[in-house]
């Protein structure tokens, strides 16, 4: 399985008064990269929820902040999913500025039934992608 990469530029809205990315926004960047990974596979979260009854919800996240990202930086957010049980996926994610590692995260996402919000098995088309 290859690592998915998604580019992002840091805007004023992503930063604090000093022009440094606010810590919680790293999680937003990771969320967008996971959504774009799904989209790159031909899956839309709204279609999965509406037509297949499948939702994904973050149930855990561990972030290590190593270096600050700043206003106007061009970043790359990577996303490497792996199956984590019958109903969840763990994503290893990295935030890079060029070759420099700024932050890394392990994000655990549960698969939920849209109608009940109870855990459900990962659909086969997802299992085929994450192993």
| Containing structural domain, residue 69 | 4-130
What is the model's pLDDT at position 105? 98
Question: What CATH code is carried by the domain that includes residue 29?
Answer: 3.10.129.10
pLDDT at 10: 98
Among 130, 128, 125, 127, which Cα is nearest to 47's?
125
DSSP string, 18-46: TSBB-HHHHHHHHHHHHHHHHHHTT--HH
Residue pair 125/131 in contact (Cβ under 8 Å)? The answer is no
The domain tally of the chain equals 1
Assign 130 a pLDDT band (cuts: 50, 70, 90).
confident
Specify the pTM: 0.92
Q: What is the mean pLDDT of the chain?
A: 95
Angle, alpha carbons 103-105-108 (nearest 5°): 165
Asked if 19 and 79 count as a contact pair (C-beta separation under 8 A), the reply is no
Active site residues: 16
| Confidence bin at 1 (pLDDT 50/70/90) | low
pLDDT tens digits, one per residue of 69-102? 999 999 999 999 999 999 999 999 999 999 999 9
């Amino acid at each position: 399985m290859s690592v998915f990469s998604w580019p992002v530029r840091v805007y004023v809205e992503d930063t604090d008064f000093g022009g440094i990315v606010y810590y919680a926004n790293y999680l937003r960047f990771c969320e967008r990269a996971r959504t774009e990974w799904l989209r790159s596979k031909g899956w839309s979260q709204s279609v999965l929820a509406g037509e297949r009854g499948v939702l994904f919800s973050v149930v855990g996240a561990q972030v290590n902040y190593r270096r600050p990202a700043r206003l106007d930086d061009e970043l790359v957010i990577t996303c490497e999913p792996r199956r984590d049980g019958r109903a969840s996926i763990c994503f290893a994610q990295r935030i890079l500025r060029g070759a420099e590692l700024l932050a890394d995260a392990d994000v655990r996402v549960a698969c939920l039934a849209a109608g009940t919000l109870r855990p459900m098995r990962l659909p086969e088309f997802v299992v085929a992608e994450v192993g």
